[in-house]
Chains A and B, each alone.
Chain A
Amino acid sequence: GQNIDQPTEMTATEGAIVQINCTYQTSGFNGLFWYQQHAGEAPTFLSYNVLDGLEEKGRFSSFLSRSKGYSYLLLKELQMKDSASYLCAVLDSNYQLIWGAGTKLIIKP
């Protein structure tokens, strides 16, 4: 079956750095997405990786290793507004998005 694993919840301090990991086992791979979702709102796009390596976009970076079935989202200089759920999703061989359960990130002052 298809499976995406990410931690359920993480806590970090304002101004610090946090890394959210995601491992996947899917039928085929056409890219991996990270989305941010605030409570009661729809997800918003953060990043997309299809090749191995690190993609940097401002305070957020995303890394992919296809051979290991592994990705992480790195958030730097954490702000209180970064408190949200972070969803990892893989585009499978049918171009269907397979979603992880999400990681709730709690930022403390």
Chain B
Amino acid sequence: GAVVSQHPSWVICKSGTSVKIECRSLDFQATTMFWYRQFPKQSLMLMATSNEGSKATYEQGVEKDKFLINHASLTLSTLTVTSAHPEDSSFYICSARDLSSGSDIYEQYFGPGTRLTVT
């Protein structure tokens, strides 16, 4: 099955620093990747949709200058949290669609998530 990896799985950083999270599709090409944020006991919140070779589409209320997304290849998307603050502490999850198989399901395969703690 399609596998998506994320790195790091957890990170602690100081307020004001930047953190980069990588999302990779290991055995398929992902033209579209999604970045989600999830606070404790809440559902997934879509932050942005990342398309390979083009600018990401951000959801309303998500600061694109703070959450930098780069989708440079068909297997890698990165999310950089710039000038992190304690309120950015959350569980960040990426997902990807594999449309190469011709499936009509539009299933999203999720990475294992990255837990970010900003002190």
Contacts and interface: CB of A to CB of B under 8 A. Distances in A.
B106 A91 contact: yes
Contacts of B45: 99
B110 A42 contact: yes
A31 B43 contact: no
- Chain A interface secondary structure, helix, strand, loop or mixed? loop
A97 interface: yes
Contact of B105 (A31, A40, A42): A31
Contacts of A97: 34, 46, 108
A45 B108 CA distance: 8
A87 B110 contact: no
A23 to B, nearest CB: 15
A97 B112 CA distance: 18
A31 B110 contact: no
Interface in A41-96: 41-45, 48, 50, 87, 91, 95-96
Contacts of A96: 46, 49
Contacts of A87: 43-44
A101 B42 contact: yes
A33 interface: yes
A45 B107 contact: yes
Contacts of B49: 96
Nearest to A94: B49
Interface in A8-27: none
Interface string B56-79: 000000000000000000000000
Contacts of A50: 104
Interface of B: 34, 42-46, 49, 91, 93, 95, 104-113, 115
Nearest 8 interchain pairs by C-beta: A42-B110, A101-B43, A42-B113, A102-B43, A99-B44, A99-B43, A42-B93, A48-B105
Given A48-B107, A99-B45, 15 more contacts: A31-B105, A42-B93, A42-B95, A42-B113, A43-B44, A43-B93, A43-B110, A45-B108, A45-B109, A50-B104, A87-B43, A96-B46, A96-B49, A97-B108, A101-B43
7 contacts: A31-B106, A41-B113, A44-B110, A45-B108, A87-B43, A87-B44, A99-B46
